[in-house]
Amino acid sequence: MALTLDTPIVELPRHGTGKLTGYMAKKLADAVASFAEKKEPGDATVEDLLNYFPSRYEDRSNLTTIDQLSPGTEASIELYTRSAGAFEVRNNRNPKQRLYIYEIAATDRHRQMKPVLVWWFLSGKNAKHIVEYYNDRFGKGSRFVAHGEWRWSERRNAFELKLNKPDELEILPSDDDSNVFGLLANEPAGNKAEDRTLDEDVGSPEFDMVHTARRVPVYRKLGPFQTKRLREIIYDANKQLDPRSVPENLPGELVGKYKLLSRSQAITEIHFPPESSAISDYDRFRSEAHRRLIFEEFFWLSFALQLIRGERRKAPKGTVIEISDETLERAHRLYDFDLTNAQQRVLSQILEDMASDAPMNRLLQGDVGSGKTIVAFLAMFAAVENGYQAALMAPTEILAEQHFQNAKRIFEGTGYNVALLTGGVKAADKRKVHAGIENGEVHLVIGTHAIIQDAVKFENLGLAVVDEQHRFGVLQRAELTGRGYNPDVLVMTATPIPRSLAMTVYGDLDVSIIDEMPPGRTPIKTVVLGEDQRPGVYKGIAREIDLGRQVYVVYPLVEESEKLDLKAATKMFEELRDRIFPDRRVGLIHGRMKAADKEETMRRFVSREIDILVSTTVIEVGVDVPNASLMVVEHAERLGLSQLHQLRGRVGRGAEQSYCVLLTGDKKTAVAKERLGIMEETNDGFKIAEKDLEIRGQGEVLGTRQSGIQNFRLANIVRDFEILEAASKEAEYYLTKKRTSKETAAMVEIVHRSHRVKLAGVG
């Protein structure tokens, strides 16, 4: 039967190269549904299966012969079995288990006198039965194609091919040449049913070569299905797919303008490249099939984000905030310093949004220490001045506590009630805060994800601020904004966002950037040192403490791991406290500690009762201790650039010269050296973020699933940035110049039906 893109996986035909039993069809449906993020296996379709693209390709298109082989050649050869069987060998790893070598001696069409040998290991309790199975498949004269790296054996005076798995052999129907060689047993010559030449066999209705004599796709394992089985299934689905059932989902003028393949042709060729294509283009994601499907991914994401952005601006707003001269005057009394020009500019943008008829949905970017928090507090003040509540959600209790203390100081004397709501707040106090939020007595609430628990009900939420927003999942942010009637939303990040990432992750947000640091801050000096320079680092720690300053020492893990050779925070805390610095005050903080213990440790560090704070990366975000002047990061090569930049930002917050030491283990990769060298060269967070994106890729920089970053199947925002720009420009064209066209209306309807973009509006 002909397949369509909507055919459920469980209904795939039970015949053909990729035939499936009912049981295996269900297994495949489970695996495809998981990959495609479908709720039920029954929802998985042929389209989802065909969206499981190859990870790489192998060129097996040219069949060779034995006399053309040379040692180390990777080649495919059409072979005929002369003899086959297994012999038992000693199993040194497990003497009780039987171990066999299964070996096929074979020749090619030219009847080479010295046969080649193809062999592999067999083991396990069923090995004897498997030997019988292969004996049936590789009877004398059986025809197959073997692909791999051929080695010359002096001992056996023959070329050998050792296989990891015999599945990579492709067994072919027998042909009349087998009889000419006299290799087929009990087969009368001239059998018309089998009298087909190789050329007639390949591509015939009865038989297609899938694994050899072509450019073959290599897939990552999907559920229980290995690459060969997937190749067969996907080949069969492609072959039986009715091209008329594959609708073109890009405007025709775009397909023509950019000379793109049709969608149907691109889907076919990305799995099985045509003979005329360059295999190098496929491996570099530069084939015509790749270009078409990458453009498609970028276009639809850009279209959806820009559509959401436009519709948000038209949505009714539940908050009406007036920014009067009196409000501005009162706001200026909250702080005793001058805002930088950048802070004033972004504050004006935020207040203008809050005073507009459309809900604000703005991203506030600012490097570590640029002063984002005071801008957020001033926006929150404007909301409560107009009779609304404001909420700030932070990713950690440490950061929430710090924001709470700063907010109490800033809003002291205004008459507004500031409350803290975290998991560590005592139950009785938590109930009081809940009641105050619900009846409006709490004007500003600062906390963690505890703010979005079911028990929290706002009387009149007007502004929601999400700090370090990439640390919250999309659903968590949606929960917060859903607690008011279309409240204004401000999301903040100290992780600078490269332009390419901003276009794909935050394309629906208005963006404000604080690109200026407050005066009086001395740039941090960063140095990369090896393990052999550790004594000098300890001398530097002692020197800073003698000058009356404090030090952070950061370790990647809390406890030692057998798998990773990393110094653990708990063990090194004891070593620093008891052996290295017995006369200094050493403290420890990590994410597994109770909230009260973390709070007490941070209080002691802020009040200078601790000289050296040993920590995991829990102090990466938001901790503000101006007296801390030295940051030492152990095993810095294991951390990403953006994370290192965040850690470095914990120092340099006072007027004194601050330092960051990146200590590396003995084993430093070339990539690690390159990355850490950039940290020495610049303090510019945007340059660092661009390089981090280039080195680690889009999915690692912020954490794909947690942040809601689009999980592209083919596209890469670094490699394919030119395609991204073109697709984004075309999406804007259809939503502006051609907004009233039937074509655009149809695309809008498609986006509204897509579950993948419904949450994009919450940042």
For 704-719, the pLDDT digits (tens) are: 333 444 568 898 887 8
Q: Is the pLDDT of residue 206 over 50?
A: no
* pLDDT at residue 351 in the model: 95
Q: Is the pLDDT of residue 185 over 60?
A: no
Q: Is the pLDDT of residue 205 over 50?
A: no
Q: Which of 11-25, 247-261, 410-424, 624-638 has the lowest mean pLDDT?
A: 11-25
Q: Which of 4-8, 501-505, 656-660 has the lowest mean pLDDT?
A: 501-505
CA 360 to chain centre: 28
d(CA 613, CA 184): 79
685-696 and 641-648 helices, crossing angle to 10° = 150
So where are the chain's domains? Answer: 9-58+214-284, 63-201, 525-682
Handedness of CA 418, 424, 426, 430 (dihedral sign): positive
d(CA 605, CA 540): 19
**80-124 pLDDT per residue, tens:** 999 999 988 887 777 777 788 899 999 988 776 677 888 888 887
* pLDDT at residue 20 in the model: 82
Question: By three-state DSSP, how is residue 445 classified?
Answer: strand
Reported pTM: 0.66
Q: Is the pLDDT of residue 41 over 50?
A: yes
Q: Is the pLDDT of residue 470 over 70?
A: no
Q: What CATH superfamily is the domain 525-682?
A: P-loop containing nucleotide triphosphate hydrolases (3.40.50.300)
* pLDDT at residue 707 in the model: 41
Q: What is the rounded average pLDDT for all residues in the chain?
A: 83
* pLDDT at residue 452 in the model: 82
Q: How confident is the model at residue 248 (pLDDT cuts 50, 70, 90)?
A: very high
Q: Which amino acid is at 421?
A: L
* pLDDT at residue 174 in the model: 66
Among 2.40.50.140, 2.130.10.10, 3.30.565.10, 3.40.640.10, name the CATH number for the domain at 63-201: 2.40.50.140
d(CA 713, CA 53): 8
Q: How confident is the model at residue 346 (pLDDT cuts 50, 70, 90)?
A: very high
**Of 69-78, 109-118, 505-514, 671-680, which one has max mean pLDDT?**
69-78
**493-539 pLDDT per residue, tens:** 877 777 667 777 666 678 899 988 888 778 899 999 988 899 999 99
- 7 versus 656: the higher-pLDDT residue is 7
* pLDDT at residue 270 in the model: 97
- 597 versus 474: the higher-pLDDT residue is 597
H/E run at residue 365: strand 361-366
Q: How confident is the model at residue 14 (pLDDT cuts 50, 70, 90)?
A: low
Question: Per DSSP, what are the bridge partners of residue 83?
Answer: 105
Quickly count: other Cβ atoms within 10 Å of residue 100's Cβ.
21
CA 599 to chain centre: 33
d(CA 496, CA 501): 10
| Residue of 460, 513, 486, 465 whose CA lies nearest to 358 | 486
Q: How confident is the model at residue 627 (pLDDT cuts 50, 70, 90)?
A: very high
Q: Is the pLDDT of residue 233 over 70?
A: yes
Q: Write down how long the chain is.
A: 763
**129-179 pLDDT per residue, tens:** 888 888 988 989 898 988 888 999 988 888 999 888 776 788 887 655 444
